[in-house]
A and B are shown apart, each in its own frame.
Chain A
Amino acid sequence: MSKANRNIVIIGNGISGVTCARHIRKKDESAQITIISGETDHFFSRTALMYIYMGHMKYEHTKPYEDWFWEKNRINLKRAWVEKIDFEEKALIFSNKESMTYDVLVLATGSKPNKFGWPGQDLKGVQGMYSYQDLELMESNTKDISRAVIVGGGLIGIEMAEMLNSRKIPVTFLVREKNFWDNILPLEESKMINRHILEHHIDLRLETELGEIIGDASGKVKAITTKKGEKIDCQFVGLTVGVSPNIEFLRTKPLESSGNNKTLQTKRGIIVDRFFKTNIPDVYAIGDCAEFQEAPAADRKNIEQVWYTGRMHGETLAFNLTSDNPVPYQPGVWFNSAKFLDIEYQTYGFVPPVWSEEYESLYWEDDGGKIAIRFLYGKSDMKIKGVNAFGWRLRHDYFDKAISDGWMFEKVLTHLNKSSFNPEFFKSHHKAVLDHYNKQKGKSLKVHKMSFIQKLIGSKA
């Protein structure tokens, strides 16, 4: 498969494109690798955008590699927007009409924020939050304002609320669902986060949908109405109702001049198989912009829009591009994490918001209402299926193994002190959780104990 001196061009300098480029370079000395992006000169961490706004970091801190890294690894960086792709001629056309050819093309163009055709959605002061440019826009849009409204109760929504909160800008947070993020989180967890949002003096409005956005004479937002008919004055509206693949520029019709140009097959995203191949030879798609013909696993979606999957797509494609024996993409046990204001969240395996008869769950919440853990396990086989943890860090390797090897739930429960990843000296709750379970089930399981010496020298035993 690998040919000498191939000219590999990657559109998109996000986690998927960059990971792909790095791993190609590790195995292929001769390939010419170019990464193109119109967003920034260098790879930065999109997940850290919020921290720039909040003053925790500057842009330069969000760059995972120093600037010399690219030249040292002979990865060419080009700052430009690709306007069209001529798949027949294997050429990219940039917005300044320059062009560039490729032998292998990797599309890693990420996502863009959704807009659902609300009246007033294009007014000044209304925006989504995805790119570096969005961040700059938000900086100028939120100068000297007295209220902001966030529409959409997902991860980016709560991040945006936290960002504004850090600048002491009052926020009203419209969430369509009954509880925050309850299409992902089970009820108790959702309610816990509801409470936490309110505790931060964020005006959370559940079961509230945006009606329209109202502008003033100068075309700036001045208020919104909800579908319930309430009017809220505001000078900023954050639209955070999900993202979708950023492939508008690829959808354009074939170039007139080259008659029989091929078209890329797309639906919501760029259609790929398990090898990240599109319908056009030598063209691949990875990361947020790719849509699998078939979901890569039972508990996975056709479009995977998280950092970790972007990285794995990049790794796998790089392997395939540098190996004679390509392998299909096969994700392992699901994991994810987030931070809801002050509450950290980690999840491993399968924990849907509601589950069928086959499963049983154990949920424990600390009295303070900020630490919680939920296990899902098989009713009949008693094997652990997944875990949600809030304010409680868990060991990834432990749960990856426990879930993929189908460990007995009760064994995991009695060894919770071993699987905790909390910093030293933190109060441990594994006994409380076990007591809770024992009480519920009328059992008397005991915690797996560590000796004093083991504790003293920190042996994991």
Chain B
Amino acid sequence: MKTIQKIGLLIFAFGLLLFTLLPFFGTYQLEKGTVEANVKEIHSEKMVEVLSPMFGKTYSSNFAFISDFKSYFNAYNDCLKANQEWDKVIWDNYAFALTKASSTGPVSENPFLFLGITVLIGVFGALLYILPLYRGQTEGIKNDGIFFSSMKSKGLLGMITGSWLILFYIVLYWFPEYITNLVLMVDPISVALSGNPASQWFLYGFIYTLAIIVMGIRMFRKYRGNAYQTIRTTSVMFFQLAFAFLLPEILVLMNMPWHDFKNIWPLDYSFFYEYRIDGMISSGALGMFMLIWGIILIVIGVPLFTYFYGKRWYCSWVCGCGGLAETLGDPYRQLSDKTVKAWKIERYLIHGVLGFAVISTALTIINYFSGFAILGQATDQLHSIYGFAIGSAFAGVIGTGFYPLMGNRVWCRFGCPLAAYLGLVQRFKSRFRITTNGGQCISCGNCSTYCEMGIDVRWYAQRGQNIVRSSCVGCGVCSAVCPRGVLKLENGDEEGRINEMPIIIGNNSITVKA
């Protein structure tokens, strides 16, 4: 490693460390005005009363602040609950908003400074490391030393990284009030884009997008000379930056609902939820377009594009989850489980989630059109179960947190209901396949090892069979790493696509079927 790269890694580590420690700094002070400004009007009076003991007090840590807040707030609610005065209970969660608003530390005063010395310097360090990668070496994928690497083959560094990610997601989803300092850093950016202060989701989107861009640049270095990889990576970088990050914020600036035009139900599981539908319907022509576009994607876009190009058009070219997996997750692709057992579990899980998504959405729609006569608010409960178990725990904590432990496509492979839908089309009605080049396979195993979806590509290749699998996201890496030029992702006639009992070319004595 070159000195400059080592310096880069040190700088990155410094930025990351500061980012991790930042939530523990700063002071917090709650005022009456803060409460009034941050809670709903109907709660204003009560909240001021409940929290009044905190007013004017200076807390030296967010832990102390949140702990006090929770004890006063919960005491109030618990009392009502005990008396069964359900209608008076405050169900809204104000912890995040009030903690954020009460922060008086240096971060709220100098958001850019702190953004600079945490995130931006991290990006800078990462680029210092990434840009010189493979310089002075010939073009071609170099997987040297991957299985000696602690980071990339489940060593200590991998475990630490995984644990950090898991922790980050847990805090982000369920305890965002503890990371208000981090959110404060990106407040000015959020205000500039959408006119609103940042939520934890804005922070997440911001970091997510940066991760895809920085690690996308790494992809350019790593897969130099491979046009398919380069173009595909550019595509996910573009869709993340433009469609998932910038455009939705600009919509909000224009008083439109936050909307990601490339996200498709059932990955976008809340698409048919009441608040989303109402939001779209009440937003004029553009809102109607959102609704119709979303439905067109589901009923025409997915089957049509998947028929012509396979599910890759979405999973490894457009999707945000796929985008992160293909960039940030690329160093971990070799960790996916290739066993037949894992494949079995995969099929149960992913189709299970698809079933869950379809049923809960169907109930939601029926309920919506019946004017909530049938199920009342019960669908809300269903939504919160789905949101918790699938949307947060599976997609986030496990999906990304487990990159360094189970590979970069855990969510896409085992959980994503849209991937399941795309996969069904790809498996049964598509022109896409990975063609095996006659008898050239030497069973080396590079393809299977580097398949992020855990497909045992070699099993097909060595018997001369085309790979037609619902889970294949068409990342093209199996083809890229094959040392014998055996694999080609292509779209072609449906006839002969699935060759169950292929004849391997080259032996004229007999025509054995593999």
Q: Which residues of A does B touch, CB under 8 Å?
A: 15, 23, 45, 47-48, 51, 54-58, 61-64, 66, 166, 196, 199-200, 307-308, 311-312, 315-316, 318-319, 327-333, 335, 337-339, 341-342, 344, 346, 370, 393-397, 400, 421-427, 457-460
Contact = CB atoms under 8 A, between A and B. Distances in A.
A119 to B, nearest CB: 35
Given A393-B437, A426-B228, A312 B444 contact: no
Contacts of A327: 509-510
A328 B479 CA distance: 35
Given A57-B449, A393-B437, A423-B227, A331 B508 contact: yes
Contact of A316 (B449, B490, B492, B507): B507
A423 B340 CA distance: 28
B158 interface: no
A66 B142 CA distance: 27
B499 to A, nearest CB: 11
Contact of B492 (A308, A330, A393, A458): A458
Interface in B135-151: 138-140, 142-149
Interface stretch (B189-197, B205-213, B481-489): B481-489
B505 A64 contact: no
B458 interface: yes
22 contacts: A57-B147, A57-B446, A62-B445, A64-B459, A166-B142, A308-B506, A311-B439, A316-B510, A329-B509, A332-B507, A333-B506, A335-B438, A344-B483, A394-B485, A396-B437, A396-B439, A396-B440, A397-B438, A423-B227, A424-B227, A457-B308, A458-B491
Interface of B: 138-140, 142-149, 226-228, 231, 308-309, 339-340, 431, 435, 437-440, 442-446, 448-449, 458-459, 462, 476, 479-480, 483-485, 488-493, 504-510, 512
Contacts of B485: 337, 344, 346, 393-394, 421
A319 to B, nearest CB: 5
Contacts of A308: 439-440, 442, 506
A393 B482 CA distance: 11
A329 B507 CA distance: 8
Nearest to B142: A166
B510 A315 contact: yes
A459 B442 contact: no
Contact of A55 (B144, B339, B506): B144
Scoring A327, A395, A421 by chain B CB atoms within 10 A of each residue's CB, the highest score goes to: A421
B440 A335 contact: yes
A166 B449 CA distance: 19
Contacts of A200: 138
A45 B438 contact: no
Given A397-B438, A459-B493, A315 B507 contact: yes
Scoring A48, A64, A312, A459 by chain B CB atoms within 10 A of each residue's CB, the highest score goes to: A64
A143 to B, nearest CB: 13
Contacts of B442: 45, 47-48, 307-308, 337
A295 to B, nearest CB: 15
B228 A457 contact: no
B345 to A, nearest CB: 15
A339 B481 CA distance: 11
Given A45-B443, A342-B139, A424-B489, A312 B227 contact: no
Contact of A425 (B147, B227, B491, B507): B227
Contact of A335 (B145, B439, B445, B476): B439
Nearest to A323: B510
B437 A55 contact: no
Contacts of A311: 439, 504
Nearest to B143: A56
B437 A395 contact: yes
Contacts of A51: 444-446
A15 B462 CA distance: 11
B145 A54 contact: yes
B47 to A, nearest CB: 58
A316 B435 CA distance: 25
Given A45-B442, A458-B431, A396 B505 contact: yes
A330 B509 contact: yes
Given A427-B227, A458-B491, A47 B440 contact: no
B436 to A, nearest CB: 9
A61 B448 contact: yes
A370 to B, nearest CB: 8
Contact of B491 (A55, A319, A346, A457): A457
Contacts of A62: 444-445
A332 B510 CA distance: 10
A458 B505 CA distance: 24
A48 B144 contact: no
Given A308-B439, A421-B488, A458-B431, 10 more contacts: A57-B147, A57-B446, A61-B445, A61-B448, A196-B138, A319-B509, A327-B509, A335-B439, A426-B228, A459-B493
A342 B488 contact: no
Contact of A460 (B231, B308, B438, B492): B492
B18 to A, nearest CB: 33
Contact of A424 (B142, B445, B458, B490): B490
Given A45-B443, A66-B339, A316 B509 contact: yes
Scoring B435, B449, B459, B492 by chain A CB atoms within 10 A of each residue's CB, the highest score goes to: B449
Contact of B140 (A57, A307, A342): A342
Scoring B142, B146, B479, B484 by chain A CB atoms within 10 A of each residue's CB, the highest score goes to: B484
B453 to A, nearest CB: 16
A47 B444 contact: yes
